[in-house]
Amino acid sequence: MATLAHTARYRFQSHLGALCVLVCLLAWAMGAHAEWHSAREGIMGTEINVTLWHPSAEEAQAAIDDVMGEMRRIDQLLSPYKQDSELSKVNAQAAQAPQQLSAEMALLVDKSLFVSRVSDGAFDITFASLGSYYNYREGQKPSDAQREEAMPAINYRWLDFDKSRGLLSYRHDKVRIDLGGIAKGYAVDRAIILLKARGIEHASVSAGGDSRLLGDRRGRPWIIGIKHPRPHSGDEASVIKLPLSDVALSTSGDYERYFIDEHGERIHHIINPRTGRSASEVMSVSVIGRDGLDTDPLSTTVFVLGVERGLALINQLPGFDAVIIDREGKVHYSEGLAPSN
């Protein structure tokens, strides 16, 4: 009996030993060949997230470094907070003499002017003459006097842009521009171009609310959540989950950068150029399309336009869809996403 018990214990121990070796080997193998790679960094005043599939951990890291480097380069080019950015230099000079823009900045200005025209000025990069008075972290907004002084300079028609030569001048000396409504969408497009050039076929890159997806998640779609604009404890972080592949999705929300002022009003970062105040018709807008260069300015635009005019614009533009959460929390879909389709 004693011998039998001893043998059983011995067998049990040796099985346990073999199992441990197997688990360790498996863990090692998974670590060495981990094929999904992710990284997160704070750049452009927002959070950059990259997830990609690559069989080699070293090459995946090199690709991630490429993307983060590109984000820093674009920030250096377009930041209104950096004195030596191209944007700051143009703002300092363009009211005096036409400025030669880089091909990249010319592309962004040209697209911005296009979106201004189709939205009758709801998207307007000259909001900056007023925008610079806001500091959401410090709870600062322009005074009525400052608003009154800045408002005449907010009009995209003050921008004299010679597209063929890439020359930009301002026809009003108080005009300033800010590309914060389009730069992140452009940046995620650039990231996907760099990843494709490295042969990567499955990736997701986001800069704050602007995402771009390359391919699918290897056989199944990416699941992208639209955030709950006013989550209470116990609520799910996202209200809607969309299965998507190979598209751009931009979300503009009044919860991203905001403070509540002394009157209980939500002061946030999307400005209605007509009123010089935070747009207040909706809480969140997501636009889906091929490129971030389009979906980013369109989400900001639809936010300013509100449900009716916003959906009318999206429904008339081929290749775009939108999900809007109005100020009562009701969800509205463009024709391409409407449940009856």
Residues of this chain that interact with ligand AMP (CB under 6 A) are 123-125, 127, 178, 180-181, 209, 252, 256, 269-271, 273, 296, 299-300, 304
The CB-of-301 to Mg ion minimum distance in angstroms stands at 8
298 interacts with, out of Mg ion, ligand AMP, none, CB within 5 to 8 A per kind = none
Task: Report how far apart, in Å, the C-alpha atoms of 237 and of each of 50, 225, 241, 248 are.
Answer: 20, 8, 10, 21
Q: Which does 155 bind (CB under 5 to 8 A by kind): Mg ion, ligand AMP, none?
A: none
DSSP H or E run through 186: helix 183-197
For residues 106 and 206, give the distance between their C-alpha atoms in angstroms, rounded to a whole number: 23
Q: Distance (Å, rounded) from C-alpha 90 to C-alpha 99?
A: 6
Of 57 and 151, the one with the shorter C-beta distance to ligand AMP is 151
Choose among ligand AMP, Mg ion, none what residue 186 binds, the Cβ cut-off being 5 to 8 Å by kind. none
Candidates 46, 85, 299, 334; binder of Mg ion (CB under 5 A) is: 299
Q: Count of residues binding Mg ion (CB under 5 A)?
A: 5
Return the number of the residue (227 or 269) whose C-beta is nearest ligand AMP. Answer: 269
- Residue 208 or 215: which CB sits closer to ligand AMP? 208
Query: Counting Cβ atoms within 10 Å, is residue 313 exposed (0-12), middle (13-18) or buried (19+)?
Result: buried
Q: Does 300 bind Mg ion (CB under 5 A)?
A: yes
Q: How far is the CB of 252 from Mg ion (least distance, A)?
A: 5
Among residues 89, 321, 313, the alpha carbon closest in space to that of 226 is found at 321
Closest CA to 158 of 126, 132, 131, 200: 126
Q: What is the DSSP string of 192-233?
A: HHHHHHTT--SEEEEETTEEEEES-SSSS-EEEEEEPSS--T
Instruction: Check residue 234 and report its DSSP letter.
Output: T
Task: Tell me, residue by residue from 225 to 264, as one string, x for binding to Mg ion by CB under 5 A and - for no binding.
Answer: -------------------------x-x------------
Cβ atoms < 10 Å from Cβ of 264: 6
Nearest approach, Cβ of residue 172 and ligand AMP (Å): 17
* Residue facing ligand AMP at closest CB distance: 180
Closest contact distance (angstroms) between CB of 111 and ligand AMP is 11
CB of 253 to ligand AMP, least distance (A): 7
In the complex with ligand AMP, the residue whose CB is nearer, 50 or 109, is 109
169 vs 299, beta carbon nearer ligand AMP: 299
Q: Is 294 in the site for Mg ion (CB under 5 A)?
A: no
**Min. distance of Cβ 205 from Mg ion in angstroms?**
15
Q: What H or E segment, with its residue span, contains residue 283? A: strand 282-289
Residue 180 binding target from ligand AMP, Mg ion, none, CB below 5 to 8 Å by type: ligand AMP
d(CA 84, CA 69): 18
The total of other beta-carbon atoms located within 10 Å of residue 151's CB is 17
CB of 27 to ligand AMP, least distance (A): 41
When CB distances are held under 5 to 8 angstroms depending on the partner's kind, the choice from Mg ion, ligand AMP, none that residue 48 binds is none
**DSSP state for residue 158 in the 8-state scheme:** G
When the beta carbons of 51 and 250 are compared against Mg ion, the nearer one is: 250
**Beta pairing partners, 37:** 52
The residues with which 287 forms a beta bridge, in sequence order, are 250, 322
Site of interaction with Mg ion (CB under 5 A): 250, 252, 296, 299-300
